[in-house]
Amino acid sequence: MTDGDEILAADGDRSFFSKNGTAVISLKLHSIAQLFSAMDPAPFRKKGLDPSVQEWIVSSAAESPRHAPLELMIYLQDSADISQLQPIVRESVQAFFAYKSQLSRRQLSQMFKRGRTSLLIGLSFLGVTLAISKLLDAFEQNRVAALIRESLIIGGWVAMWRPLEILLYDWWPIRNERLIFDRLGRMDVTVREESAERSEEPSRT
């Protein structure tokens, strides 16, 4: 988007407003072309969203109540052919976020696969280090042997840190992102003239 483009933010500290239990995310654009990435050569229906628009929509959805249905309300200054744009824009936006959800699922699957592989390697290495340290028990009086023994034990447990980090912590952000994309892939999308904004926007909660 250019410097002259404007994203309509909600009053206060929220980026959405509620309407009959639905979290409505508002965008105000000069033309529908600003919704999509100018760098994407794909046909109009398959274009990716502009990065700043995508960031706004995703962050707004993340702030909304988790189980509330979502709606994207787009207000255009250039209101030509809105009735024809409505189904195309809805299909494009939903397809874009459905694709992003698929990518997140794939990323999550790859992360678990990497975590399982790392865990197998870590456990194997830990087993070897513990076995060697057990053999070194026979040289308990030897300071060098004792130092090597302790180093092997520490190294074995350190090798377990990365697989445990992946399997316990790293996957949560990707899962949460995927859930947001799932919601956005199902949200309704409405395109309206900018003049309709003031008369239709409810009070924000």
Asked if residues 192 and 200 have their Cβ atoms less than 8 Å apart, the reply is: yes
SS3 24: strand
Q: Specify the pLDDT at position 113.
A: 96
Tell me the C-alpha distance between 90 and 191, whole Å. Answer: 9
Q: Are 189 and 93 in contact (CB under 8 A)?
A: yes
All residue ranges of the chain with pLDDT < 70 are: 1-16, 43-45, 79-80, 195-205
Which pLDDT score is estimated for 164?
A: 92
Cβ contact 48:96 at 8 Å: yes
Distance between CA atoms of 82 and 32, rounded to whole angstroms?
A: 9
Both tokens of 29, joined, read 């654009």
